[in-house]
Amino acid sequence: MSNQGRIVVYPGSFDPVTNGHLDIIHRARHIFDHVIVAVTQNSAKNSLFTVQERVDLLSAALKKEIRSRSVSVDTFSGLLVDYCRRRRAVAVARGLRALSDFEYEFQMALMNRHLAPKLETVFLMPDEKYTYLSSTLLKEIVRLGGDVGRFVPAALVPKIRQKLAGRG
Ligand code: ADP
């Protein structure tokens, strides 16, 4: 693991991955040697996609980066700080879209610092065009038949549509 250089963990639900997440991953790649996109298994959120489906969608969207070994996709359960320690990560990356994200993220970052003082949390801001994008909103637009071509990689759109259709 140490031969991967400076590792950052980007944790989240990714239900499903959006261009906003991918924007953050690309920004993190410029700062760190390796980005581990870590899908949480213990989210309290009611998710649409299974953890494995979310991993598959991320892996499809990040095929090139995974091949070049600058990104990997993984899952974790339990405390994020324990996972980061196991993976020898120096930092956690999180995306900040708007002021509304701040309070929760601030709380999480400080709690994680309490649990693991050496682990830094870095906040990255996506391109403005993604600041109003969330997985929840994306699912809602697909459900209502709207065009989400700008918000997710084109190859993923039919998969998301299919999943939502299967749900009835
Ligand atoms: P979580 O349930 O942990 O918030 P998400 O998958 O919703 O998981 O988000 C993971 C991370 O990505 C969070 O830091 C979130 O703020 C960030 N994020 C989500 N959507 C976007 C977006 N459109 N632009 C930038 N960051 C985003």
Residue 84 CB: number of other CB atoms within 10 A?
Answer: 25
- In tens, the pLDDT along 18-48 reads 999 999 999 999 999 999 999 999 866 688 8
SS (H, E, C) the chain: CHHHCCEEEEEECCCCCCHHHHHHHHHHHHHCCEEEEEEECCCCCCCCCCHHHHHHHHHHHCHHHHHCCCEEEEEECCCHHHHHHHCCCCEEEEECCCHHHHHHHHHHHHHHHHHCCCCEEEEECCCHHHCCCCHHHHHHHHHCCCCCCCCCCHHHHHHHHHHHHHHC
Residues with CB under 6 A from ligand 1: 12-14, 18, 20-21, 24, 43, 45, 94-95, 97, 101, 126, 130, 133-135
Question: What's the confidence (pLDDT) of residue 1?
Answer: 46
Please tell me the total number of residues recorded for the chain in this structure.
168
| pTM, two decimal places | 0.94
Of 161, 159, 132, 158, the residue nearest 20 (C-alpha): 132
Q: Which amino acid is at 118?
A: K
In angstroms, rounded to a whole number, what is the distance separating the alpha carbons of residues 25 and 65?
10
**Ligand 1 atom index nearest CA of 15:** 6
Higher pLDDT, 1 or 113: 113
> How many angstroms separate the alpha carbon of residue 14 from the centre of ligand 1?
7
* In contact, 120 and 92? CB cutoff 8 Å: yes
Question: What's the confidence (pLDDT) of residue 44?
Answer: 65
Q: How many whole angstroms from its chain centre is CA 82?
A: 18
Question: What's the confidence (pLDDT) of residue 168?
Answer: 44
In angstroms, rounded to a whole number, what is the distance separating the alpha carbons of residues 70 and 92?
16
Average pLDDT, the chain: 93
Residue 136 has pLDDT above 70, yes or no: yes
- In tens, the pLDDT along 78-125 reads 999 999 999 999 999 999 998 888 999 999 999 999 999 999 999 999
Supply the residue whose CA is at minimum distance from atom 22 of ligand 1. Answer: 20
Residues annotated catalytic, as ranges? 21, 45, 97, 135
Rg (CA), the chain: 16
